[in-house]
Amino acid sequence: MSKNNEVIINTKWIVSKRGKKNAVDPNRPYFWLVEKERNVSGKIEDTAIIFLTNKECSFHCLMCDLWENTIDRSVPAGTIPDQIEWALEQIPEVKHLKLYNSGSFFDERAIPETDYERIASLISSFETVIVESHPKLINEKCIRFRDMLKPELQVAIGLETVHPEILQKLNKQMTLEDFSNSVSYLTQNGIRSRAFVLLRPPFLSESEGVYWAKRSIDFAFDAGVESCVVIPVRAGNGAMDVLMENGDFSLPNIHSLETVLGYGIELHAGRVFADVWDLSLFSSCKICFDQRVSKLTAMNLSQSLVDPVKCKCNETIP
Ligand code: SF4
Ligand SMILES: [Zn+2]
């Protein structure tokens, strides 16, 4: 662990390091896409993701950059269903849907409960709907939403890391017990959950980053999640850039992502995915980069190991 980990990290410090938000339209999602994902039953199917334009998350995690596409105030009731309705007119027909709102779906100030019924009706043709939430906002509202839905509800929760000191420094305002309790609550109510796990949060060396990502996957499955998503930590939100300049954070390497993904898949405890967004950030070798992206994508879709990529850069793995 970095010796310089005495920086006082709190909401005020994190927010003070930010740049400007992007200009977004509260009446439209700020992005949508369709990607392939292996589903629980092993089929590889298209999944649509709608990135809803919403109020900024009430938590201000150190590594989070989702605030960049948010607005400062709550959107009026009816706005989120309107955004979904508009997006569904653009998106090709698919069976699975992720509704990501740059925060917690179950945050009343983000999406009022009065919107649930219309949202449920708009998405009734899907087989699965996945929303994300902070553990502290998982409660009987999830059950009420589930009861209105025709698709199966799944909830994605950021575990981030089980390193006790680093989790605290991330300003997530969550304990491991909060995470376990939320997963248990969802499981008891028949709702599958998935955990977001960080690869190399700040203050860790590359090998520590790998070690703690593996322990975090172990913990998430022990708590009862059905799947894990490994996210290599990026800079770019202001606070992370300051830590990087001070030597308290370095981008993880794509080799480490391969290692952690392979470890998770080999557990055979549930699906494990690597986040493959913007992977060029994590590779300094142009020779093998495309092969490594293909390898990670193949592992995500097959949930099995793929032959190692042979390249000179393997000799310089950090
Ligand atoms: S809880 Fe999630 S959305 Fe909110 S600040 Fe933390 S990482 Fe970002
Ligand atoms: Zn290489």
Task: Find out whether 21 and 57 touch, Cβ atoms under 8 Å.
Answer: no
**Which atom number of ligand 1 is nearest to the Cα of residue 66?**
8
**Atom 8 (ligand 1) nearest CA:** 64
Any ligand 1 atom below 6 A from CB of 134: yes
- 304, amino acid identity: S
Instruction: Determine the pLDDT at residue 8.
Output: 82
Task: Find out whether 198 and 244 touch, Cβ atoms under 8 Å.
Answer: no
Any ligand 1 atom below 6 A from CB of 262: no
For 90, the token pair is 């653009």
For 301, the token pair is 């879709």
Region of 160 on the Ramachandran plot (φ > 0 left; ψ -120 to 50 alpha; else beta): left
Any ligand 1 atom below 6 A from CB of 66: yes
Any ligand 1 atom below 6 A from CB of 96: no
Global pTM reads: 0.96
Instruction: Determine the pLDDT at residue 72.
Output: 96
pLDDT in tens, the chain (318 residues): 655 556 689 999 999 999 999 999 999 999 999 999 999 999 999 999 999 999 999 999 999 999 999 999 999 999 999 999 999 999 999 999 999 999 999 999 999 999 999 999 999 999 999 999 999 999 999 999 999 999 999 999 999 999 999 999 999 999 999 999 999 999 999 999 999 999 999 999 999 999 999 999 999 999 999 999 999 999 999 999 999 999 999 999 999 999 999 999 999 999 999 999 999 999 999 999 999 999 999 999 999 999 999 999 988 766
Report the residue among 10, 18, 59, 233 best suited for mutation to probe ligand 1: largest number of ligand atoms under 8 A from its CB: 59
Q: What are residue 32's DSSP bridge partners?
A: 50
Instruction: Determine the pLDDT at residue 315.
Output: 83
**Atom 6 (ligand 1) nearest CA:** 61
**Which atom number of ligand 1 is nearest to the Cα of residue 63?**
7
Task: Find out whether 305 and 299 touch, Cβ atoms under 8 Å.
Answer: yes
Instruction: Determine the pLDDT at residue 102.
Output: 98
Q: What are the backbone angles phi and psi of residue 288, rounded to the nearest 5°?
A: -110, 0
Instruction: Determine the pLDDT at residue 7.
Output: 66
CA distance 258 to 274: 8
Report the residue among 64, 234, 275 best suited for mutation to probe ligand 1: largest number of ligand atoms under 8 A from its CB: 64
CA distance 121 to 136: 27
Any ligand 1 atom below 6 A from CB of 103: yes
What is the SS3 assignment for 271? Answer: strand
Instruction: Determine the pLDDT at residue 231.
Output: 98
Residue whose pair of structure tokens reads 């898949």 in the numeric block: 265
**Atom 3 (ligand 1) nearest CA:** 103
How much distance in Å is there from the Cα of 287 to the middle of ligand 1? 35
Residue whose pair of structure tokens reads 């509800």 in the numeric block: 153
How much distance in Å is there from the Cα of 234 to the middle of ligand 1? 14
> In the sheet where 31-38 sits, what is the strand order?
31-38, 44-51, 96-100, 128-132, 152-160, 192-199, 227-232, 271-274
Report how many helices (DSSP H) and strands (DSSP E) the chain contains, helices first: 10, 8
Q: How far apart are the first and last CA of the chain?
A: 15
How much distance in Å is there from the Cα of 1 to the middle of ligand 2? 27
